[in-house]
Amino acid sequence: MEIKFEDLKVLYSEEQLHTKVKEIAEKLNKFYNGDEVVAICALKGAVLFAADLVRELDMPVKMEFIRLSSYGSSTTTSGKVNAVDINLPDLNGKNVLIIEDIVDSGLTAKFLIDFIHMNFHVKSFKFCSLLDKKITRKVDVEPDYYGFEVDDKFVVGYGLDYDGHFRNLKYIAYKEN
């Protein structure tokens, strides 16, 4: 599959994304109730979502960044999660919030959940993803918080890419068949 800018259709507008980010932040603000959080942004896809989300949080926030990859230049997961950079500080006793762009097969989410729990005794652990493609799930994981459920289409924009392209779009788009 090749995706050209001309073929893209808006799935969620800038305004819809903004509203949704605020909704998620409200839930997180309630849950953490002023307690410090370490927000871990899963690069590269979650960068714009994380940037917008943390600005709506009203507790003290530390940001960390990790980089995983499973896709390469294809539009389906390779089935293997590759930890490109997973250097994290000591998270023992911390409220850990993972921020992801999309949960698809669930392999990346599962990898991250296992990694955190194997290495640290955290105070709390939450997994937050802007999008949830439940229909393509291969392993049994669910995000604690998610913005929109999407069906089995490849989406780009607002951080999500196709072979490195379209991350800078203000909206989420898909290719109409």
Dihedral pair phi/psi, residue 133, rounded to 5°: -100, 80
Active site residue 152: no
Rounded Cα gap, residues 150 and 134, in angstroms = 7
In angstroms, what is the minimal distance from the CB of 107 to Mg ion?
11
Residue nearest to Mg ion (CB): 45
Which is the catalytic residue, given 58, 85, 90, 104?
104
| Contact letters for Mg ion, residues 26-55 (x by CB under 5 A) | ----------------x--x----------
Q: Does 132 bind Mg ion (CB under 5 A)?
A: no
| E strand residue ranges, 13-167 | 37-43, 61-69, 82-85, 95-103, 124-132, 145-149, 155-156
Q: Does 101 bind Mg ion (CB under 5 A)?
A: yes
- The separation between CA 43 and the C-alpha centre of its own chain, rounded to angstroms, equals 8
In angstroms, what is the minimal distance from the CB of 159 to Mg ion?
8
By CB under 5 A, name the binding residues for Mg ion: 42, 45, 101
